[in-house]
Amino acid sequence: MIVTLNTGAEQVDKLDLTEAEKAILQAKKNSPIVYRYDSPEALKFELKMRTRIVEAAKALNSGGAQFARFKDSRCNERYWSRTDEGGFQLRPGALPSDGINDIFANGSLYAFECATAIVIILYKAVLDMVGPTVFNRYFRDLLLWDWNYDKDLGLISTNNVNEAYPGDVLYFQNPDHDPRTPEWQGENVVKLADDLYFGHGIGITTSEQILSALNSRRRPGSTTPAFLTDQVVHPDFDYLRKL
């Protein structure tokens, strides 16, 4: 059964959604693009995953983990060993679920940059959605480093920021950043709501404030401002549902 958000209104109304999920659903209904789903359950899974991503981003923001460049990264050695490149390799015998949860429970022991933060948020959302048994079966031998991620996360990238919804990952680019501070070349963020984003190192804020922070780190004399790119990234919701 193919469900669209307009023609499948009766099935959609029976999904028992939270207010946050209803808000995402309404935003997608208002889009000029017609979104199709294999079943009402597939739609509900996506909406729940999106809210889990938002919740994980907020949890990371309040959890005490700090921003650091790769050379200054740190982790809890009980679960992770730090690589020469500044990544975190899951220790043999440690459960992936325990390693991810520890980042949120003992954030003060961790420091990493913004791309790693995004992958951690996505792992946490998947873990909370599918549970530790399934997560540990599929997401083994984790390496947290930059945009490195397990194939079962199945990230999908599109180029239409007008079709970004809460739970999507976006990128603010600073093309003329000061070369002495390469960490300010851009900011990976999770969209939390309309014009509200979380970026590790910047926190929860608006697009205007993110752009202002990036523009203040441009090379002297620069006339090229930072901007929000068209790139939109999210997990393969349907694939994760079938795990």
pLDDT at 168: 98
pLDDT single digits (tens) 22-71: 999 999 999 999 999 988 899 999 999 999 999 999 999 999 999 999 99
**Residue 2 — pLDDT band, cuts 50, 70, 90?**
low
pLDDT single digits (tens) 225-234: 999 999 999 9
pLDDT at 15: 81
pLDDT at 179: 87
Is 74 in contact with 110 (CB distance < 8 Å)? yes
Q: 74, 129, 159: which is closest to 239 by C-alpha?
A: 129
Return d(Cα 133, Cα 131) in angstroms, integer.
6
pLDDT at 13: 65
pLDDT single digits (tens) 81-140: 999 999 999 999 999 999 999 999 999 999 999 999 999 999 999 999 999 999 999 999
Q: Residue 1 pLDDT more than 50?
A: no
* Non-local CB neighbours of 110 within 8 Å, separated by 6+ positions: 65, 66, 74, 75, 76, 103
Q: If you average pLDDT over residues 148-159, what whole number do you get?
A: 96
What are the tokens at 125? 């959302």
pLDDT at 14: 74
